[in-house]
Chain A
Amino acid sequence: MKQLMLGNAAVARGCYEAGVKVISSYPGTPSTEITENAVKYDEIYCEWAPNEKVGAEVAIGAAIAGARAMTCCKHVGLNVMADPIFTASYTGVNGGLVIAVADDPGMHSSQNEQDSRHYAKASKIMMLEPSDSSECKEFTKLAFEFSEKYDTPVFLRLTTRVSHSQSLVELGDRENDELKEYTKNPAKYVMMPANAIKKHVDVENRMRALEEYAETAPINTVEDNGSNIGIITSGITYSYAKEALGNSANFLKLGITYPMPVKLIKAFAKKCKKVYVLEELDPFIEEHCKVNGIDVIGKEAFTLLGEYSVNLIKKVVLGEEIEDIKSEPIPVRPPVMCAGCPHRGTFYVLKKLGLNVSGDIGCYTLGAAAPLSAIDTTICMGASVSAAHGMSKARGEEFNKKLVSVIGDSTFIHSGITGLIDIVYNKGANTVIILDNSITGMTGHQENPTTGKTIRGEATKQVDLELLCKAVGASSVRIADPFNVKEFEKVVKEELEKDEPSVIIAQRPCALLKTVKYTGKCVITDKCKNCKMCLKAGCPAITVKDGKPVIDATQCNGCSLCINICPFDAIVKEEA
């Protein structure tokens, strides 16, 4: 019987059926659920790696050792793992190796909109693109076959709407459960110049063979509906195009987006009067067509920005406009830190002190939003620490005394630690605040090296952040509770005054963790002087009715931060 499955869960199922033995990833929306679902199969060893580079290297090692292996990441995670991946393209594999990368057109949960297909071309690695959950499973299995047959890593490229849509999947059995033999082979696996020069020849030969294969690959499908209009597309855009145009156009659906066929596209285009390329983000397929002299309509009629849609395709291809009910302009509802979020205390204090804040990637990026409006910069994972060092070197001591970095526990392990080492080594005096909420929050609660648990929830050795920071040479490392706002403020002020690298570990667990049990509800009493200090914390449970703050009992989780903030002791806890 068919099952309704998330695209990411179907990739995990594909791994199970393909006999995959090892998966190592770092969480990143929209890719996280692949690894989370793979854990459910006892036959697959899964782990959260400290970052994507490590995850990729673990998978590469496993593949060289003869197992089928995968690493998963979001598009920006691919930047982090680029180094090992480009060389794995040269070594090739033993057991199959697949890199699942999920792009995020429309930036539902990302800091940029990069198109990972360029990586396939740059690293000379084959790329497959499924369009629904059923293809997620099938293409995953095929990717492992191609990987072993052509001795190459293979990219499986997803986008948010493929990863996070559920559709029907037919389940199969596990196959290929044996390890391949491991033999020493330095000419293949030791990439020093003499060997790599020879391997580059293999890579180019492999690409020619794959280009040839792409001409007749069964997953590059032509649907001839006898129309004058031709659509060349892949992935989720195929689903939109079929929905918009049904059988009124001919379709060339590319299951392999790198390398792409030439003869197949030429033959398809020749039968049509007008050929559109439908692809989100960059004109990747379009440029391939144009370089090969195929006349297509692409980005000039569509967009480089955000997601495509059925309506957009209908408008451009058919000239149809959709009539909808126009709503009046209404307030936006941006995401906010949850009621009870430990980060709220930290940002309340940083805002109050009027500090410059070098920010990072995680739930706490929301500290940039009003009314906290506390964060000055957000670039990428780990940049809060190193960028603050750069700011201080640029602007000097005075500026440094008004500057902090904020970074989550998981993000600090990911790539913040190297920045701290840079500060220590290069005589910096920055203050780094590690927001230790005992979990990887934004991606939906994954364990990490600081939580003391593995991906399966088993107890393991725990990286002690305090000892770690001391070990790399941070002169002062202190632990403080961000909900004890007075004490926290004092600690921040003291650490900023020091002429040496210091770390404050702001320790309080995520309010959504099952182990966190706040009780009762906070209530504003008639002692309230309407100073509205409580509103400065930006808690979604505290709102204004008839000009006065009130606490919405359905939203309040009883965390008591507002009680600590109120200067008139006007907020009390009512136990249920």
Chain B
Amino acid sequence: METKSIMIVGVGGQGTLLASRILGNAVIGEGYDVKVSEVHGMSQRGGSVVTYVRYGEKVYSPVIDNGGADIILAFELLEAQRALPYLKKGGKIIVNSQQIDPMPVITGACEYPANIAGYLKENADTTLIDALSLAKCAGNQKAVNVVLIGVMAKNTDIPYDVWVQTIKNTVPEKFLEVNLKAFDLGYNS
């Protein structure tokens, strides 16, 4: 199998790290070689965050370059557009419709681009999803990350049961019910 490259982008604090860990553990359950690259430290403080997950027979680089991502899972609109150059030709973007203003927009130094969703759709195979509403439905707005994992899961060839088991192994017991519900809402959206 050719190596699959999935990029998870968002805003520090949105839970991209947990999403990449669930994804990484789900693919080893399937017997693949896998590498996950994370960013810790300063960029986690409300900045743009990017994690990469790559899996296949043998994976060397843990990092995805421009033009290299099969799937981009974006937790926020502006971050989806920022990540667009990383998408492979024919790749797919799954994007949460949430808008989080970065500080230069808040201070008025620049404007949040209008109609990012339209821009993405013009340039790539785009699935737009209101993951925040679904997370609230599941019982906790912080479960946005797992809703999005659910949407993405449907776009991989990893079976449903493997995902559920991985979430059970990764998420703390007291948040499990909310997260399983969030996953299902994403998976069935």
Which residues on A are within 8 Å of B, measured CB to CB?
2, 4, 6, 29-30, 32-33, 108-109, 132, 161, 164-168, 236, 239-240, 242-243, 309-311, 322-328, 330-338, 363, 365-366, 369-371, 442-444, 535, 538, 540, 542-544, 552, 554-555
Contact A444 B40 (CB under 8 A): yes
Contact B102 A334 (CB under 8 A): yes
Q: Which chain B positions have C-beta within 8 A of A323?
A: 67, 89
Nearest to B110 among chain A residues (CB) is A331
Bound-complex Cα distance A437 to B109 (A): 30
Q: Which chain B positions have C-beta within 8 A of A540?
A: 46, 100-101, 103, 106
Asked if B65 is an interface residue, CB under 8 A from chain A, the answer is yes
Contact B45 A333 (CB under 8 A): no
Bound-complex Cα distance A406 to B112 (A): 33
Given contacts A4-B28, A335-B12, A543-B106, contact A168 B60 (CB under 8 A): no
Bound-complex Cα distance A203 to B98 (A): 60
Contact B67 A240 (CB under 8 A): no
Q: Which chain B positions have C-beta within 8 A of A166?
A: 21, 24, 34-38, 62
Bound-complex Cα distance A417 to B85 (A): 47
Bound-complex Cα distance A164 to B60 (A): 15
State the Cβ distance, A167 to closest chain B Cβ, in Å. Answer: 5
Bound-complex Cα distance A243 to B28 (A): 20
Select B103's contact among A33, A243, A324, A334, beta carbons within 8 Å. A334
Nearest to A326 among chain B residues (CB) is B85
Bound-complex Cα distance A198 to B171 (A): 57
The interface centre, meaning the residue of B66, B98, B119 with most chain A CB atoms within 10 A of its CB, is B66
Contact B33 A544 (CB under 8 A): no
Bound-complex Cα distance A524 to B28 (A): 48
Contact A335 B62 (CB under 8 A): no
Bound-complex Cα distance A543 to B12 (A): 17
Binds A, one of B75-83, B149-157, B178-186: B75-83
Contact A165 B37 (CB under 8 A): yes
Contact A165 B35 (CB under 8 A): yes
Interface residues on B, range: 35 or more
State the Cβ distance, A161 to closest chain B Cβ, in Å. Answer: 6
Select B61's contact among A30, A310, A330, beta carbons within 8 Å. A310
Given contacts A325-B85, A370-B109, contact A243 B61 (CB under 8 A): yes
Contact B28 A370 (CB under 8 A): no
Which 7 A-B pairs have CB atoms at the shortest separation, nearest pair first? A109-B41, A335-B47, A29-B41, A165-B62, A333-B102, A243-B61, A166-B36
Asked if B39 is an interface residue, CB under 8 A from chain A, the answer is yes
Contact B63 A30 (CB under 8 A): no
State the Cβ distance, B171 to closest chain A Cβ, in Å. Answer: 16
Select B45's contact among A33, A337, A552, beta carbons within 8 Å. A337
State the Cβ distance, A447 to closest chain B Cβ, in Å. Answer: 18
Count of chain A to chain B residue pairs whose CB atoms are closer than 8 Å in the complex:
187
State the Cβ distance, A246 to closest chain B Cβ, in Å. Answer: 9
Bound-complex Cα distance A161 to B54 (A): 14
Bound-complex Cα distance A540 to B38 (A): 23
Contact A327 B81 (CB under 8 A): yes
Contact A331 B85 (CB under 8 A): no
Select B62's contact among A167, A444, A544, beta carbons within 8 Å. A167
Given contacts A239-B60, A243-B60, A243-B61, contact A554 B46 (CB under 8 A): no
Q: Which chain A positions have C-beta within 8 A of B40?
A: 29-30, 32-33, 109, 164, 444
Select A336's contact among B39, B45, B89, beta carbons within 8 Å. B45
Bound-complex Cα distance A29 to B109 (A): 30
Given contacts A331-B112, A333-B48, contact A324 B62 (CB under 8 A): no
Which residues on B are within 8 Å of A, measured CB to CB?
11-13, 21, 24-25, 28, 33-48, 59-63, 65-68, 78-79, 81-82, 84-87, 89, 98, 100-113, 119, 123-124, 132, 141
Contact B66 A240 (CB under 8 A): no
Nearest to B86 among chain A residues (CB) is A324
Select B28's contact among A2, A325, A331, A371, beta carbons within 8 Å. A2
Given contacts A4-B25, A29-B40, A161-B63, contact A310 B47 (CB under 8 A): no
Q: Which chain A positions have C-beta within 8 A of B25?
A: 4
Contact A108 B67 (CB under 8 A): no
Bound-complex Cα distance A323 to B103 (A): 31
Contact A239 B62 (CB under 8 A): yes
Contact B24 A333 (CB under 8 A): no
State the Cβ distance, B106 to closest chain A Cβ, in Å. Answer: 5
Contact A108 B47 (CB under 8 A): no
Bound-complex Cα distance A311 to B24 (A): 24
Nearest to B53 among chain A residues (CB) is A166
Bound-complex Cα distance A60 to B86 (A): 46
Contact A239 B61 (CB under 8 A): yes
State the Cβ distance, B126 to closest chain A Cβ, in Å. Answer: 12
Contact B41 A108 (CB under 8 A): yes
Contact A240 B63 (CB under 8 A): yes
Select A330's contact among B63, B82, B86, B132, beta carbons within 8 Å. B82
Select A310's contact among B13, B68, B141, beta carbons within 8 Å. B68
Contact B44 A4 (CB under 8 A): no
Contact A322 B66 (CB under 8 A): yes
Nearest to A536 among chain B residues (CB) is B107
Contact B103 A336 (CB under 8 A): yes
Bound-complex Cα distance A109 to B42 (A): 5
Select A322's contact among B38, B47, B63, B67, beta carbons within 8 Å. B67
14 A-B pairs, CB-CB below 8 angstroms?
A109-B40, A161-B37, A165-B38, A166-B35, A166-B62, A168-B28, A309-B63, A327-B81, A330-B81, A331-B110, A331-B111, A335-B44, A336-B103, A442-B42
Contact A543 B101 (CB under 8 A): yes
Nearest to B59 among chain A residues (CB) is A167
The interface centre, meaning the residue of B42, B82, B98, B113 with most chain A CB atoms within 10 A of its CB, is B42
Contact B36 A310 (CB under 8 A): no
Q: Which chain A positions have C-beta within 8 A of B68?
A: 310-311, 322
